[in-house]
Amino acid sequence: MNEVRALIVDDSSVMRKIVERALRQAGLESLVVHEAGSGTEGLDLLRGQQVDLILSDINMPSMDGLEFLRQIRLQNLAQGTPVVMITTESSEEHVRQAIQAGARGYIRKPFTAEQVKERVLPLVSTKS
Amino acid sequence: MALTLRDSLHLVVEPENLDASVEEVFGLMLGERPRRLAAAEDDRTGQDLESVTAVVGFGGVLSGACVFRSSTAVAIRIAAQMTGMHFDDVDDTVQDAIGEVCNMLAGAWKGKVPDLAARCGLSVPAVISGRDYRLHVQSPEFQLAHAYRYQEGIFRVTIICDSFQ
């Protein structure tokens, strides 16, 4: 698989590292990771960087993941880039809101590398 | 007639939901299955004073908090296992890891009850270091407080509900 540039948005630096590790375990060895600690930081990064994949938490201070997703679409950033939400929020309502806002996938924390592989790889393999 | 959370109260206060949440979070994120201590067993270990505490608030149909407490040594061990890093003390990364554990426990616990999962929000975690404090909630509606054996140490998880609809 070609190099994959991923943006991981989570207010927890530990969780960003765990998500990165899970992506590598899923088979994305040629992975370039950009990290953001909030939706606002994520938007700033997307104005200057092209990425192939975005993984975002929902519960974050200053700008939550759903608003981040809406702003990506509103500001025409990262057009066509798949976004996967990785969050502790697991209700059907949260999934519905995320999909409605433009998410292509949803992974609930806690998660396994296998779940990341199943839900993320199909999204990036179509780009390579 | 619309159901309130009181109609699901038997599910909300079910102690096994908390055990299942602990097993899920520790099993998937750390590859461990902490064992819940019996009350008598926990009394004998009452001297194991906590010094790292993480709190995640609940808001919406249920107001309260999920509280995770452990010794410094246990917090460091959990963070090391989560990250694959080595820690000598409770630094920002250890606090971050413990906050995330508490966040996942709170999310997993509320996810066990469909009415809670959709209508109860979580705050971002707050982490407190130090042992010279008491956790006090005026007349909670209910409280679940369990202690678990994790490797050579103990951690405690408490769900406190001060009101619900």
**DSSP strand E in B71-116: where?**
none
Confidence class for position B43, pLDDT limits 50, 70, 90: low
The alpha-carbon gap from A95 to the nearest alpha carbon of chain B, in Å, equals 10
Q: What is the pLDDT of residues A13-67, one digit of tens each?
A: 999 999 999 999 988 888 999 999 999 999 999 999 999 999 999 999 889 999 9
Whose tokens are 């104005």? That residue is A47
Please, what are the domains in chain B? 5-164 (3.40.1550.10)
Contact indicator for B116, B5 with CB cutoff of 8 Å: yes
**Confidence check: pLDDT of B81 > 70:** yes
Contact indicator for B55, B65 with CB cutoff of 8 Å: yes
Is B124–A60 a contact, with Cβ atoms under 8 angstroms apart? yes
Domains of chain A by residue range: 4-119
pLDDT value for A43: 97
Confidence class for position B45, pLDDT limits 50, 70, 90: low
| Residues of A in Cβ contact (< 8 Å) with B68 | none
Q: Helix, strand, or coil here: A31?
A: strand
Q: What is the pLDDT of residues A85-104, one digit of tens each?
A: 999 987 888 899 999 999 99
Q: How far apart are CA A39 and CA A57, in angstroms?
A: 9
Mean pLDDT, chain B, whole residue set: 88
pLDDT value for B36: 95
- Whole-angstrom CA distances from B137 to A121, B108, B109, B122, B161 are 46, 23, 20, 18, 9
- Whole-angstrom CA distances from A31 to A55, A113, A128, B165 are 13, 15, 13, 47
Contact indicator for B33, B26 with CB cutoff of 8 Å: yes
Q: Which pTM value belongs to this model?
A: 0.90
Is A14–B25 a contact, with Cβ atoms under 8 angstroms apart? no
Average pLDDT over residues B37-47: 67
Confidence class for position B1, pLDDT limits 50, 70, 90: very low
Tokens representing B38 are 């019996």
Which of A14, A15, A24 to mutate against chain B (most B CBs within 10 Å)? A14
Which of A59, A97, A116 to mutate against chain B (most B CBs within 10 Å)? A59
Distance from first CA to last CA of chain A, Å, rounded?
7
Whose tokens are 């963070």? That residue is B79
Contacts of residue A91, Cβ cutoff 8 Å, sequence gap at least 6? B111, B114, B117, B118
Average pLDDT over residues B81-109: 95
Confidence class for position B47, pLDDT limits 50, 70, 90: low
pLDDT value for B165: 79
Which of B14-18, B48-52, B125-129 shows the lowest mean pLDDT across its residues?
B48-52
Superfamily of domain A4-119: Response regulator (3.40.50.2300)
Q: What is the pLDDT of residues B101-158, one digit of tens each?
A: 999 999 999 999 888 888 899 999 999 998 777 777 777 888 999 999 999 899 999 9
A32-A35-A39 Cα angle (round to 5): 135
Q: What is the pLDDT of residues A63-82, one digit of tens each?
A: 999 999 999 999 999 989 99
Size of interface A-B (CB pairs under 8 A): 65
ipTM of the complex: 0.85
**Confidence check: pLDDT of B100 > 60:** yes
Inform me whether the C-beta atom of residue B135 falls under 8 Å from chain A C-beta atoms: no
- Whole-angstrom CA distances from B162 to A72, B115, B116, B121, B143 are 38, 17, 15, 15, 9
Query: Which residue type does B45 have?
Result: T
Collect contacts of A59-64 with beta carbons under 8 A, ≥24 apart: A59/A87, A59/A88, A59/A89, A59/B103, A59/B121, A59/B122, A59/B123, A59/B124, A60/A9, A60/A10, A60/A11, A60/B124, A61/A11, A61/B124, A62/A38, A63/A38, A63/A39, A64/A39
